[in-house]
């Protein structure tokens, strides 16, 4: 069963999840993180702010989420000091719900640019990909590693998490709903220009419709037990 926006999620968002290494914690279900403003506020000690562009929509269902319509909606974080570069190790986790992903298209959730050009390569990323035909065979993708077909279930809330160590050529591991799915060799792009944005909801001019309730970044690779802890701390909001 879902819960009312802003009522019982603050503890789960700030105490229930793993805090060690947490450098970004956006939770649309917590009024301290989102309260009908132009920014999505970070609950981590770093207190970052993600700016919205082009009309993202807030919905109170499942405690609260942000809807990106797939045409041009985006959020972004400034990172001039590259504290979110995370090109050696890190973790990206989110509660996401995809209506669909077009054939051969990437619908990224969060990623770090390596250059000012929006179409530039990503240092790291987490999102969805559809191999087709049509919008069939959707899968989780991160840093050059892809889970099996249909690991993304359309119109269903899933806790997606990627952890990586060893930089380019190291290992990226993908988890869904707290369970390990696959690992593989990371493709981490080298940095071409310093201080580039972290994008939420886009890759270049590919946007992709998606619902995002929670977005988390860590400056280290979470363990399998920690990924499971985060999932279990917040799953009640999504009826899981």
Q: Residue 191 maps to which CATH number?
A: 2.60.120.200
pLDDT digits (tens, 9 = 90+) for 222-236: 999 999 999 999 999
User: CA 186 → CA 81, 204, 214, 217, 229, distances in Å?
Assistant: 24, 21, 24, 17, 24
Instruction: Give the chain's mean pLDDT.
Output: 91
Is the confidence at residue 76, as pLDDT, over 50? yes
- Give the sign of the dihedral formed by CA 69, CA 133, CA 158, CA 106: negative
Share of the chain above pLDDT 90, in %: 74
pLDDT digits (tens, 9 = 90+) for 147-191: 999 999 999 999 999 999 999 999 999 999 999 999 999 999 999
Is the confidence at residue 6, as pLDDT, over 70? no
Percent helix, strand and coil across the chain, each to the nearest 5: 10, 40, 50
Q: Domain of residue 86: give its range.
A: 10-238
User: Is the pLDDT higher at 214 or at 131?
Assistant: 214
User: Is the pLDDT higher at 93 or at 208?
Assistant: 93
What is the average pLDDT across 99-108?
Answer: 89
Alpha-helical segments (H) within the chain = 10-11, 224-234
As a dihedral over the C-alpha atoms of residue 28, residue 32, residue 37, residue 42, rounded to 10 degrees, the angle is: -70
Is the confidence at residue 1, as pLDDT, over 60? no
Residue 176 located in a structural domain: yes
Task: Rank 82-86, 115-119, 130-134 by mean pLDDT and report only the highest.
Answer: 82-86
- pLDDT band at residue 5 using 50, 70 and 90 as cut-offs: very low
What's the total number of domains in the chain?
Answer: 1
Residue 18 located in a structural domain: yes
pLDDT confidence of residue 13 = 73
Q: How far apart are the first and last CA of the chain?
A: 8
Q: pTM score, two decimals?
A: 0.92
pLDDT confidence of residue 9 = 63
Residue 74 located in a structural domain: yes
Residue 17 located in a structural domain: yes
Residue 173 located in a structural domain: yes
Residue 128 located in a structural domain: yes
Residue 1 located in a structural domain: no
Is the confidence at residue 11, as pLDDT, over 90? no
Q: From CA 239, how far away is CA 29, in angstroms rounded?
A: 14
Residue 136 located in a structural domain: yes
pLDDT confidence of residue 167 = 97
Is the confidence at residue 97, as pLDDT, over 70? yes
């Amino acid at each position: 069963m879902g819960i009312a926006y802003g009522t019982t999620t603050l503890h789960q968002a700030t105490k229930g999840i793993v805090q060690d290494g947490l450098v970004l914690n956006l939770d649309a279900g917590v009024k301290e993180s989102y309260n009908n403003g132009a920014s999505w506020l970070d609950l981590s000690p770093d207190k970052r702010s993600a700016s919205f562009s082009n009309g993202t929509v807030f919905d109170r269902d499942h405690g609260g989420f942000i809807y990106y319509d797939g045409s041009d909606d985006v959020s972004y974080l400034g990172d001039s000091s590259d504290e979110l570069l995370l090109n050696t190790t890190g973790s990206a986790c989110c509660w996401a719900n995809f209506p669909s992903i077009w054939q051969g298209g990437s619908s990224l959730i969060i990623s770090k640019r390596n250059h000012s050009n929006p179409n530039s390569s990503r240092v790291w990323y987490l999102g969805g990909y559809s191999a087709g035909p049509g919008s069939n065979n959707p899968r989780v993708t991160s840093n050059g590693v892809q889970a099996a077909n249909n690991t993304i279930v359309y119109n269903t809330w899933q806790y997606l998490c990627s952890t990586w160590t060893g930089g380019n050529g190291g290992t990226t591991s993908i988890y869904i709903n707290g369970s390990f799915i696959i690992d593989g060799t990371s493709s981490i792009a080298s940095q071409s220009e310093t201080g580039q944005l972290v994008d939420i909801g886009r890759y270049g001019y590919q946007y992709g419709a998606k619902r995002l309730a929670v977005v988390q970044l860590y400056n280290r690779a979470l363990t399998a037990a920690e990924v499971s802890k985060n999932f279990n701390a917040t799953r009640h909001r999504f009826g899981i």
